[in-house]
Amino acid sequence: MFKRLILNIGALLLVGGMSTVSWANVPAPPVNQNIGIPDGVFNNLARENCWYCHIPSRLTPADLAVIDWSFAAPDVKPGVITDRHHARVDTVVQDPTQSPNGVPGELYDCLSCHFVEWNPVTFSYDIAQNFIDCLNCHTQVVNQASVHHLTAPAQALNCQHCHGARIDNPGDGHYIPTGRPPTLVTPRTSDGKGTNGEGACDFCHNTGIDAVSGRVIPTNDVNHHSTGIGQPGISALDCTVCHDQMGTDWAIRRCEDCHGINSVHNIQADSNGDGVVTVGGEDPFFGHIGSSPADCNGCHGGYIGAGGMPAPFSGPVVPELTGLSTQSVPAGSAETITVSGISLSNEILTFFGAMEVDSTASLTAADGTTIALTAVDVTPSTMNVTLPADLAPGNYYLRAVKGLNNMSNPMALVVQPPVAIDQVVADGSVLTISGNGFGAYLDAIDSGTSISMAAATCSVNSWNDSEIVADCGASTCGSLEVESIFGSASTDVSCN
Ligand code: HEC
Ligand code: HEC
Ligand code: HEC
Ligand code: HEC
Ligand code: HEC
Ligand code: HEC
Ligand code: HEC
Ligand code: HEC
């Protein structure tokens, strides 16, 4: 474990810009693992592996330290897992749904996901512990398909939804040179025609041991096939998502459905540790558009007169997000959050000197609507973004965007509804409390939802997001407290 810690620090240093070539896979193969999703197989995961990337709020980093990750050592950490589930309460159950009891078209309530069990000893309900293991609800097909690639966006071939513009989406209209036949310059998927095997993806992306993590990087066919996309028995998608003329000079054109010129010509990591990615100015084997011709030759086989030539469409190197200063904000707060990442700005060398390309940001709501945001203080590794004050509560994805649509991977952001009591009307011992952010009620011990008066628990007659009717019995005045899954609120009910 200690060894892995040191290796992880090594990886952090590399990303942070203190890289030394001796820590990198230079020359490839395998390729470095500085950017993108770690290359590997993720279809035989245990719950701890999910936690590694999606830290549930009740786990501490110390809990994570005991996880034996034997598949890969990823550094993608989307976060805020509990809140993202709870933000679904009172929204429409999606179709298909992974909830054990939810009915598509109806609204999520606590029992869409949770089970309660009667406890005869305490004479009350307990929440069954079905929620600890992600795989109780989210499915993978062991050794065939991973959780993420069985989701609706993946099955709809919206790969950018999670991978960002490191790849293109099939059918989105991006440029593929279909009008001309392949030449010696056209990259092969494997078996490059250059003198040393240059001219193919697997000239660099091939199996080998990653110098930084000590992990075995699989071959490209294993990385793709193991997602389950287009594999038999998984869904209606088939091999033609990636193959139409396998083994021929044309084969790469189908790959270009996702690896179009505009995306492959914008993949680049920092090599010299100055923190800035400079298109055309990085050492070879840290990406695709470092100091030519070495990188260009890897794909183009040495058949392109590449000395100093810029690659078409290159410039706005694909930005990548690694963290947000907070992933959960109260609604209405207009909070400024610091976004960390890689290549949030980069440089291109022009005839007039170096020019900087900066990211802006965008927020995508759960219904798919997108809001453009301004980013300030943009550096390669951080930028500040102020959220609009009028964001509706719910789940959002925040992304960095360069140019029109060169977008990063998403980071989840939860906008929490404010919990507030507006009015309390008493009718004998029965109180009607109106306000907002009450969410829903689950009648179980430690459900995180309750109402009390002067510290005595009231019994709930009805409970929705804006109104609770409860019987507080003999406690008719004092401090009234509502605890909801989104937070708590209190008010004083006078005793006269
Ligand atoms: C290598 C890191 C990694 C691992 C391991 C991982 N995830 Fe994810 N997961 C991500 C990223 C990145 C996203 C996309 C961003 C997001 O939604 O937070 C994501 C998204 C998801 C989503 C949302 C899918 C959608 O429709 O948008 C679910 C559900 C999910 N993961 C479940 C799981 C489960 C269950 C496991 C364990 C079997 C797991 N993840 C393991 C990185 C990981
Ligand atoms: C969309 C599914 C979903 C819905 C709806 C949902 N929950 Fe949860 N809940 C979860 C998951 C998943 C976890 C565990 C996440 C984790 O591991 O941190 C969880 C965790 C919890 C926990 C344990 C929290 C902790 O820190 O240990 C409580 C209590 C809880 N939920 C109560 C509720 C109540 C009350 C409601 C209704 C108001 C509700 N949940 C609605 C999925 C859901
Ligand atoms: C009790 C069932 C249950 C468990 C356990 C569970 N989930 Fe979920 N999860 C859901 C449901 C239901 C949804 C909403 C989508 C749907 O209806 O399929 C969801 C949605 C998500 C999303 C997308 C949230 C968004 O932004 O809209 C992520 C990410 C996710 N789950 C990850 C996890 C991870 C990681 C774990 C383990 C810590 C986990 N889930 C455990 C039921 C569950
Ligand atoms: C819901 C988010 C999500 C969507 C949508 C998605 N992916 Fe992924 N992808 C991930 C995550 C997270 C990983 C790492 C864990 C895993 O494989 O489940 C990954 C890993 C991969 C890998 C292996 C890692 C690597 O770098 O070699 C490939 C290949 C891949 N995805 C291809 C695709 C393709 C093709 C699509 C579209 C058809 C797609 N993905 C859509 C989240 C997603
Ligand atoms: C000259 C060597 C070289 C060749 C040839 C090459 N790549 Fe890369 N590629 C790299 C390096 C280096 C990276 C950065 C890896 C990192 O640091 O994570 C990279 C990253 C990527 C990424 C980003 C995601 C990831 O997993 O890191 C994709 C996608 C990609 N390459 C696709 C391709 C495709 C498709 C081909 C063939 C058309 C290809 N590459 C050929 C060197 C190469
Ligand atoms: C998501 C993309 C994707 C899908 C879908 C896909 N493949 Fe592949 N496949 C690849 C990649 C990438 C390679 C590596 C190409 C190379 O190195 O030339 C590959 C290589 C292969 C190879 C040659 C390497 C080997 O494994 O011996 C065969 C055969 C193959 N695929 C068969 C299939 C079949 C059959 C299907 C459908 C059941 C399929 N593939 C679906 C991406 C895919
Ligand atoms: C449907 C979309 C799709 C198609 C088609 C596709 N890929 Fe990929 N490919 C991906 C995604 C997504 C990734 C992972 C990017 C990341 O790390 O975020 C990837 C990664 C790669 C990488 C980087 C190494 C790695 O495993 O991460 C190479 C090389 C690659 N693909 C080659 C190919 C080749 C060759 C073909 C055609 C045989 C092909 N791909 C077809 C989506 C696709
Ligand atoms: C990761 C692989 C990869 C790398 C590295 C790469 N390219 Fe390309 N490039 C491609 C692919 C794929 C095409 C499309 C070829 C086809 O389908 O005929 C392409 C096409 C081109 C074209 C023709 C564009 C057109 O309009 O058809 C030029 C010129 C070019 N690349 C120059 C460069 C230069 C210069 C570099 C180095 C700075 C470079 N490329 C690095 C993959 C790469």
DSSP string over 98-133: --SS--TTSB--HHHH--EEEETTTTEEEE-STTS-
Q: What is the pLDDT of residues 81-107, one digit of tens each?
A: 999 999 999 999 999 999 999 999 999
Number of H helices, E strands in the chain: 11, 25
| pLDDT band of 212, cuts 50, 70, 90 | confident
Among the ranges given (1-5, 37-41, 196-200), the one the predictor scored with the smallest mean pLDDT: 1-5
Q: Is 351 exposed, middle or buried (0-12, 13-18, 19+ CB in 10 A)?
A: exposed
* pLDDT (0 to 100) of residue 18: 39
* pLDDT (0 to 100) of residue 74: 63
Q: What is the pLDDT of residues 218-263, one digit of tens each?
A: 999 999 999 999 999 999 999 999 999 999 999 999 999 999 999 9
Residue type, 9: I
Give Cβ neighbours of residue 354 (< 8 Å, ≥ 6 apart). Answer: 278, 347, 348
pLDDT at 19 over 90: no
**Buried b vs exposed e over 440-463: b needs ≥16 C-beta within 10 Å?**
bbbebeebbbbbbbeeeebebeeb
Question: Closest residue (by CA) to atom 6 of ligand 2?
Answer: 110
* pLDDT (0 to 100) of residue 377: 97
pLDDT at 16 over 60: no
Q: What is the dihedral of CA 388, 389, 395, 400, to 10 degrees?
A: 20
| Largest distance between two CA atoms of the chain | 94
| pLDDT band of 1, cuts 50, 70, 90 | very low
Q: What is the mean pLDDT of residues 359-367?
A: 96
Using CA atoms, how far residue 135 sits from 93, 130, 192, 246, in Å, is: 19, 10, 41, 35
pLDDT at 64 over 70: no
420-427 sheet: strands from edge to edge: 420-427, 430-436, 467-471, 459-463
* pLDDT (0 to 100) of residue 6: 29
* pLDDT (0 to 100) of residue 24: 86
162 in contact with ligand 4, CB cutoff 6 A = yes
Report the C-alpha gap between 89 and 416 in whole angstroms. 12
pLDDT at 17 over 70: no
Residue 29: is the preceding peptide bond cis (ω within 30°)? yes
* pLDDT (0 to 100) of residue 5: 29
- Cα angle 79, 84, 88; round to 5: 170
Whose atoms come closest to the Cα of 365: which ligand?
A: 3
Report the C-alpha gap between 435 and 471 in whole angstroms. 17
| pLDDT band of 8, cuts 50, 70, 90 | very low
Q: What is the pLDDT of residues 160-197, one digit of tens each?
A: 999 999 999 999 999 999 899 999 999 999 999 999 99
Cα–Cα nearest to 283, from 33, 24, 29, 39? 24
φ and ψ of 11, to 5 deg:
-65, -40
Closest ligand 8 atom, CA of 309?
35
Question: Closest residue (by CA) to atom 36 of ligand 5?
Answer: 201
Residue 293: is the preceding peptide bond cis (ω within 30°)? yes
Calculate how far, in angstroms, residue 220's C-alpha sits from the geometric centre of ligand 6: 8
Give the SS3 label for residue 78: coil
- Domains for the chain: give ranges and CATH numbers: 1-34+140-315 (no CATH), 45-128 (no CATH), 320-416 (2.60.40.10), 420-493 (2.60.40)
Using CA atoms, how far residue 341 sits from 281, 328, 337, in Å, is: 20, 18, 13
φ and ψ of 212, to 5 deg:
-85, -45
Query: What mean pLDDT is reported for the chain?
Result: 90
Per the DSSP assignment, residues forming a β-bridge with 453 are: 456, 480
Report the C-alpha gap between 155 and 29 in whole angstroms. 30
* pLDDT (0 to 100) of residue 421: 97
Contact indicator for 105, 87 with CB cutoff of 8 Å: no
* pLDDT (0 to 100) of residue 302: 79
273 in contact with ligand 8, CB cutoff 6 A = no
In 10 A of CB 482, how many CB atoms? 25
* pLDDT (0 to 100) of residue 12: 36
User: Which residues line ligand 1 at a C-beta cut-off of 6 Å?
Assistant: 42, 45, 49-50, 52-54, 74, 76, 78, 134-135, 138, 140, 147-148, 151, 153, 162, 410, 412
Calculate how far, in angstroms, residue 258's C-alpha sits from the geometric centre of ligand 7: 7
Among the ranges given (128-132, 285-289, 460-464), the one the predictor scored with the smallest mean pLDDT: 128-132
Give the SS3 label for residue 63: helix
Give the SS3 label for residue 392: coil
Q: What is the mean pLDDT of residues 392-405?
A: 94
Closest ligand 3 atom, CA of 99?
12
Q: Alpha-carbon Rg of the chain, whole angstroms?
A: 26
